[in-house]
Structure 1
Amino acid sequence: MKNLFITLFSLFLGINMIAQENIATDYLSAEFHQERRDALRKGMPKNSVAVFFANPVRNRANDVDFMYHQDPDFYYLTGYKEPHAVLVLFSEDQTTSDGNSYNEMLYVQEKNPQAEQWTGKRLGVEGAKNQLGFKMVSNGSEFPSSEVEYSKFTKVLFNDFNNDYRDSKRNQADLYSLIEQFKQQANYDEASLPNPMKSRIYDMIKATDIENSANVAQTIGRALEYYPDLKKDQVISDYTETTDPKVRLELKQQVIKIEQEKPESNLDTQSLSTLMAGLREIKTEEELDLLTKAVRISAMGQREIMKAMHPKMSELEIQGIHEFVYKKYGSEYEGYPSIVGAGNNGCVLHYIENSKMQVNNELVLMDLGAEYHGYSADVTRTIPANGKFTKDQKIIYDLVYEAQEAGIAAAKVGNSFNAADAASRAVIHKGLIGLGIAKTEKEARQYFPHGTSHYLGLDVHDPGLYGAFKHNMVITVEPGIYIPDGSDCDKKWWGIAVRIEDDILITNNGPVNLSAEAPRSSKEIEALMKEKSALDDFVLPTLN
């Protein structure tokens, strides 16, 4: 019986090995991840160490977890896709007790045949060395015995913890244990860490002379509307409430004294995100290959639904066609929850219920993006369910299209990040006022309440520094008009929601629309919707 078990178990491992071999080969290379680590190391302060943790495993319900998704920074630097891992990077070479030199360490999940039978093959130490190119790799269980003396570094860089991870109890090398061990090793004290917004307000108070204190107090007061917890800080609260300049001067002195008496700490939870944003906002050619594929897959999804759409479809069916196309092209996931809103549902910016049973003859706003090997697209089209825009729908649609054309044209190297937004917004505000939907720019803004652009990459809202546009940045340009039922305008406009979103590569030769394969103009959309769909004959039996 024992021999039979061993034979079956060996057979399982062999099948698992074969299954793992028949996979895509166009992932980011080990050389890419190494180069990115080297680039980060160059930007780190002297005598510093950076610590990154893998994403937590997130529970869906009971004993079922969500599909695991690696932290984008962690993946960007390592290529490692498994949970319960730590990356430690040093600004300068370190030396082990036996005289070996190193500048990075990776701690990974330990190989475990029994666990792998349930959840899949693990790389383990040797796999991380051979496939990811790391020289110093250890099991997570060895992290507590790390030789790193965090107290000797001028800066210990890490992102503060969101406390959204569980203690599995049985695994002494899970993310919970790894973080707790780091906190002990680095003398982590949450109370002593600077609050970024509080630090910013303190800096404002310190830099303000008595003549300008009233204006600064108003600015701080507006900030507290978004950060109400800071009202608990007595100095900040008093500074905004008093009208006496002399009291504000006394409070300024208190801030200076507080900062002078604050115990020094080498723990830095603010700088790492800025360093990573500076790296990730510019895409390498290897990244652009994957991101472009994700975008083109998403554009194909939009094309296919344009041909397949009819008024009796449900929002969920429309979502399913998009996502089916993604899978046919090898996309592993959606980059974010799919948004399919017919009529007034499209006025909810992040509408993800997709529960309307028939879209009828309404406009259907479809904001979806495929994720391919970690890189996410973000493409939106708005189309008439019956294949033909009404007169009023077309007026609003064409206005958004005109605004997007202006926004894309402004996405040029050297322009400020808000250039695309300013260009799009100017067109929409003027158009809405001209149509009588709004009387002023302030009124017009309520019908276009979101920004026009964000960075795109491993995150659908990728990090960046939001400075001037640079070569090989990728952004979205996504103006929109949303006129909910009950709006203060002619009723004929109610329930019209239009967003057009494309993924734009900024180059020295001008903007390139990576999602151009999905028609954008109202004329092109109507023409494609007349074509036959491969899904026209796909009819399922009725379920009673």
Structure 2
Amino acid sequence: MKNFRFLVLFLIIFTFNGFSQTPTDYLSAEFHKSRREALRAKMPANSVAVVFANPTRNRANDVDYVFHQDPNFYYLTGYREPNGVLVLFSENQTDKNGNAYNEILYVQKKDKQTEQWNGKRLGVEGAKKELGFSMAKNSEDFSESAINFKQFDRVFIEKFNDDYRNSERNKGEIYDLVVAFKEKSGYNPKNFLSPIKKQIYELIKSTPIENSANVAQIIGRAIAYDSSLKNDDDLMKYKNATDDILKKDLQKKISLKLEAKTNIDIHFLSKNLATLREIKTPEELKLLTKAVRISAIGQIEVMKAMKPHMSETELQGIHEFVYKKYGAEYEGYPSIVGAGNNGCILHYIENNKTKVGNDLVLMDLGAEYRGYTADVTRTIPASGKFTKEQKEIYDIVYKAQEAGIAESKVGNSFGAPNVACRKVINEGLVKLGILKSVDENHNYLPHGVSHYLGLDVHDAGTYGNFKENSVITVEPGIYIPEGSNCDKKYWGIAVRIEDDILITKNGPVNLSAEAPRKAEEIEKMMAKKSVLDNFILPNLDK
């Protein structure tokens, strides 16, 4: 009897610690509920928001890409599976039994055979228990739902990409959900105008035909800003028309487009969710900080392991091994490891140089942990020591980054770090003789130095003045490709230093400060032993 009790106890412990060992530090159901409530508070009376999960996307043949949830949908629901839709009402609704509700989550249904191949599903009961929804239904029920979207004054959706694949496996896939919504709501893409197109249409409507040449010039300038305007046949015909009668006909036609009525709004959700997501809650900051620290430690381990005989791919693998060691599910974006001139390609992801040699190696990588993405860049010498020219460029970038971080303060404009960084870089390049003056136009820094960070690597936000508890990057760089109009000794040098900065009322906090940034500190770290020094695999070419 004692042995039997021991066996039962062992099995219980083993089951709990063995089969049930899955992450427990995801965002809480209460967090997601609070985000829905915050969005609902911004919704006007008699309105409804409809938010769709991401679809699965095909890689080749019968293999799909690893599924990644739409950040806005995840932010509001916590649901990490495809084939879902959230319907959020501004006021309570009443079902046929007299029960009140203000939201419905549709999820893919439980299916033993499918789950055997592709993993467990939450299903309706799981969505209620794990995600805290009082009303959840199977996704295939959405097309048969009694929701009358036409009765609402406003229906909020995000712009459809229409890249949903119809696999015809079941009736509850995203493709079917979107088709059902469009049918129920009377969705017509012709009713939606971008803000810039709406302005041009209103200008055409209000401008006398004798002044149409001025409008045509404005349309030309607008197209240079937004090339998608070329796809508007009526707009292009008006721009190029030489006959006043044709212009009048087009003016009437375009005026009618302005008057098209719809209760569907494709701007409200993206605007208001950006406002919410810009400010991180303590629960979010905990996960985001962990993602950043994992990424910083990845940089440290590569500094110690770096050898000139290594390939870019091998260095990428070390970073990503560290991420997995800490339980990070994914990389936040395709990893960039560029040695020498490859570092001058801003989004270089081939990472196929077989030996990094004595080049500088630019490494821009970020772990994604529980949905939150880091973005940390370090540039280090493969030999362990900066050359004179490498250090000259590196020190300018470091000084510029320090100036940019100092400007990352509550109330400052989002562009303040960029202005500060560019000033230092221009002055430094003049001193080296690479530029003739600080006002010279150049392409040695072709990008802005900051973006928001969170559920996306380029996260949603207002890009207005800095607010407390938002997180941004500060990432100045200097890129001097081979053939540049400067001394050849600088050719092929690319440096970017990127850190993840928390905006606080007491000033900026560098969340990725663990990874050395100063040239001397990097060299010191690279002189340390690596746990991978003796990790030698068999030679497969012999």
Task: State if a TM-score over 0.5 links the two structures.
Answer: yes
Q: Which residue of 1 aligns with 2:489?
A: 492
Is residue 297 from structure 1 mapped to residue 294 from structure 2 by the alignment? yes
Q: Which residue of 2 aligns with 1:341?
A: 338
Give the CA deviation at 1:292.
Answer: 0.1
Give the CA deviation at 1:115.
Answer: 0.9
Give the CA deviation at 1:216.
Answer: 7.5
Distance in 2 separating the partners of 1:38 and 1:525: 46
Is residue 357 from structure 1 mapped to residue 354 from structure 2 by the alignment? yes
Distance in 1 separating the partners of 2:529 and 2:76: 45
| Secondary structure, counterpart of 2:447 in structure 1 | coil
Q: Which residue of 2 aligns with 1:532?
A: 529
Alignment of 1:183-202 (within 5 A): 183-202=182-201
Indicate how the Cα distance of structure 1 residues 101 and 257 shifts in structure 2: closer, same or farther if over 3 A, else same: same
Give the CA deviation at 1:122.
Answer: 0.7
Is residue 468 from structure 1 mapped to residue 465 from structure 2 by the alignment? yes
Indicate how the Cα distance of structure 1 residues 54 and 442 shifts in structure 2: closer, same or farther if over 3 A, else same: farther
Q: Which residue of 2 aligns with 1:182?
A: 181
Indicate how the Cα distance of structure 1 residues 218 and 475 shifts in structure 2: closer, same or farther if over 3 A, else same: farther
What is the count of residue pairs matched by the alignment?
A: 528
Q: TM-score, normalised by structure 2?
A: 0.92
What do residues 131-159 of structure 1 show as CA deviations (whole Å, max 9, x unaligned)? 10000100112112212110111111101
Distance in 1 separating the partners of 2:435 and 2:521: 29
Distance in 2 separating the partners of 1:176 and 1:361: 51
Which one of the candidate residues 456, 478, 490 is aligned to 1:459?
Answer: 456
Alignment of 1:105-504 (within 5 A): 105-203=104-202, 220-231=219-230, 233=232, 236-237=235-236, 257-258=255-256, 262-440=259-437, 443-504=440-501
Question: Which has the larger displacement, 207-216 or 187-196?
Answer: 207-216
Contact 1:433 1:444 in 2 (8 A): no
Is residue 58 from structure 1 mapped to residue 57 from structure 2 by the alignment? yes
Contact 1:295 1:514 in 2 (8 A): yes
Contact 1:331 1:373 in 2 (8 A): yes
Q: Alignment identity in percent?
A: 64
Indicate how the Cα distance of structure 1 residues 189 and 340 shifts in structure 2: closer, same or farther if over 3 A, else same: same
Q: Which residue of 2 aligns with 1:4?
A: none
What do residues 342-373 of structure 1 show as CA deviations (whole Å, max 9, x unaligned)? 00000000000000000000000000000000
Give the CA deviation at 1:535.
Answer: 0.7
Give the CA deviation at 1:425.
Answer: 1.1
Contact 1:368 1:379 in 2 (8 A): yes
Distance in 1 separating the partners of 2:441 and 2:389: 17
The one-letter amino acid paired with 2:50 is V
Q: Which residue of 1 aligns with 2:67?
A: 68
Indicate how the Cα distance of structure 1 residues 95 and 19 shifts in structure 2: closer, same or farther if over 3 A, else same: farther
Distance in 1 separating the partners of 2:499 and 2:208: 46
Indicate how the Cα distance of structure 1 residues 462 and 203 shifts in structure 2: closer, same or farther if over 3 A, else same: farther
Contact 1:196 1:270 in 2 (8 A): no
Give the CA deviation at 1:197.
Answer: 3.4
The one-letter amino acid paired with 2:198 is S
Indicate how the Cα distance of structure 1 residues 433 and 220 shifts in structure 2: closer, same or farther if over 3 A, else same: farther
Question: Which has the larger displacement, 475-484 or 444-453?
Answer: 444-453
Calculate the aligned-residue CA RMSD, in Å: 2.6
Q: Which residue of 1 aligns with 2:504?
A: 507
Where in structure 2 are there 5+ consecutive unaligned residues? 1-13
Q: TM-score, normalised by structure 1?
A: 0.91
Distance in 2 separating the partners of 1:17 and 1:36: 32
| Secondary structure, counterpart of 2:361 in structure 1 | strand
Q: Which residue of 2 aligns with 1:89?
A: 88
The one-letter amino acid paired with 2:45 is K
Contact 2:83 2:174 in 1 (8 A): yes
Give the CA deviation at 1:445.
Answer: 3.6
Question: Which has the larger displacement, 518-527 or 191-200?
Answer: 191-200
Q: Which residue of 2 aligns with 1:24?
A: 23
Give the CA deviation at 1:434.
Answer: 2.7
Indicate how the Cα distance of structure 1 residues 204 and 517 shifts in structure 2: closer, same or farther if over 3 A, else same: farther
Contact 2:401 2:474 in 1 (8 A): yes
Distance in 2 separating the partners of 1:522 and 1:76: 39
Give the CA deviation at 1:46.
Answer: 1.9
Q: Which residue of 1 aligns with 2:3?
A: none
Which one of the candidate residues 523, 526, 532 is aligned to 2:520?
Answer: 523
| Secondary structure, counterpart of 1:102 in structure 2 | strand
Contact 1:16 1:121 in 2 (8 A): no
Give the CA deviation at 1:95.
Answer: 1.2
Contact 2:84 2:107 in 1 (8 A): yes
Give the CA deviation at 1:305.
Answer: 0.5
Q: Which residue of 1 aligns with 2:10?
A: none
Give the CA deviation at 1:208.
Answer: 8.6
Contact 1:59 1:66 in 2 (8 A): yes
